[in-house]
Structure formats: structure tokens, C-alpha cells
Structure 1
């Protein structure tokens, strides 16, 4: 059952990321005409590359295991400070934001479908396969 719980937990983290990404994109779209507004982005890849440069360690159950540290995954919102898309200093590219929104929506819906599948499997087990 632990594997089942871990997969649900991973899907939950994915949904949190997709939700934060969606909020960030919505904020960018809402501020498309705001002078000097700089577009923001949520980047797990950027966070991972920064963490990858640090030393990592973990609890070892065997002396042959490698050392590494497991840190809780957090997603960071980054701002593009030096990027200017419009003459008024605004850094929002509306076409890019709409493409990112569509991509994120597909990702979010895929995660929801997967969670529904997990709960459907659990429901089948609870009902005894009926």
C-alpha cells in the first residue's frame, strides 16, 4: 500500500506545481497592459539545477548505498527582470502565455485523469472487484 500512497503523493505534488503555474500565468495575463510589469514563471527545472550543485545525502540502510539528501520539493516563482516585450516596459508575451496556459492545462488534466484512475482502482479493490 506504501507504493500506492507514494504515487498519490507524487501526483499531488504535480497538481500543486500545475496549480501554481496556472496562477502565475493568469497573473501574467491579467497584467499584460501594466507598465513595467515583468513576467513571472514557475520553474521546477531551474530549482532542480540549483539544488543539483549542492551536496546531497540521505539515510542509508546498507553501507553500499550512495549518500544523498532528500529535500521537500518546492516550486519557485521567478521573474524575468531584464526582459522587456513592449515599449512601456511590460515583459509579458501574450502568445507565449496562452501557449503555456494550454500546455499547463493539458498537464493538469493528465494528472487529474491519473488520480481518478488510482482512486477507481482503490474503489474496485474496496468493493471486492465488483
Structure 2
């Protein structure tokens, strides 16, 4: 019974976990916008979610690259999220003299988009819980 409940909630739980971790990476980019030679990083959310779901929500393995600037099948500076998802360098569109690749407009947009999608994920989980509560309450009558 508990296993079925876990399965029912696992996708949104996994998505929320990845969104929270991505938010930390994006916040780190924004915090280091003035740090010389800091390289902006991000995760490939779609691939990370696909890998996590394929592994039963227990984390993902190395991702394939989506841009030439990404490290092949590896993480930026060997760093990865807690679940093993590599953190990749963002593609440089406009470099800075000090070597910093953070573009504040891009980071703000990605941060806001990710926050909005996180809120949508919370709404989905709330909806699932309400459905379960309705089923439980009507099941005894």
C-alpha cells in the first residue's frame, strides 16, 4: 500500500527536488556575478528528470551534453548535485573582460522560470494529496 502511494507521488517529488537543487545553482550564479573568472553553471533539467525517473527517483547518472561548451558526460569542475546530476557550464554568449560568464538577464529569467515551475509542482502535489484524501474519506461510506 505504501509503495503504491510512493509511486503515485514519486514523479512530482523527484521534479521538485531537482527544481530546488537547480534553484541553488542559479542562485550561486547570481551571487557570483561580480566574481572574476566565475563560470555560470546550470543543469539540464529535462535529462536529469528523465534519468531520475528511469532510476526510480533515486538520482541520475551522467548526462549527455546539449552544447559544445559543455563538458562531455561530466560535470563542471567535477561538481554534481547530491543525486549525481552533473552541473554543466552555461554556453557563453557574451564574455566579460574579467572572465566571468554570468549574464544577469539570463540568470534572472532562469531563476524566475524555475521558481514558477517549482510552485506549479507544489500545486500538483497538493492536488494529488487532495485526491487521495477524497478517496480515503469516501471509501469508508
The answer (yes or no) to whether the contact 1:24–1:41 under 8 Å persists in 2 is: yes
Q: Partners in 2 of 1:29 and 1:109 — Cα distance?
A: 20
Task: Confirm or deny: 8 A CA contact 1:25 1:101 kept in the other structure.
Answer: yes
Check the 8 A contact 2:15/2:49 in 1, yes or no: no
TM-score by length of 1: 0.71
Name 1:77's counterpart in structure 2: 87
Partner of 1:7: 8
* TM-score with structure 2 setting the length: 0.66
How far apart, CA to CA, are the structure 2 residues paired with 1:113 and 1:47?
Answer: 21
**CA RMSD between the two structures:** 2.7
Q: How does 1:9-88 map to 2 (within 5 A)?
A: 9-45=10-46, 70-71=54-55, 72-74=58-60, 75-80=85-90, 83=92, 85-88=95-98
Greater relative CO (CA pairs within 8 A, separation 6+): 1
Say which SS state the counterpart of residue 21 (structure 1) adopts. helix
Structure 1: gaps of 5 or more residues:
52-69
Equivalent residue number for residue 112 of structure 2: 102
Structure 2 residues without counterparts, runs of 5 or longer: 61-84
Higher-Rg structure is: 1
Paired position in structure 2 for 1:58:
none
* Alignment coverage as a number of residue pairs: 110
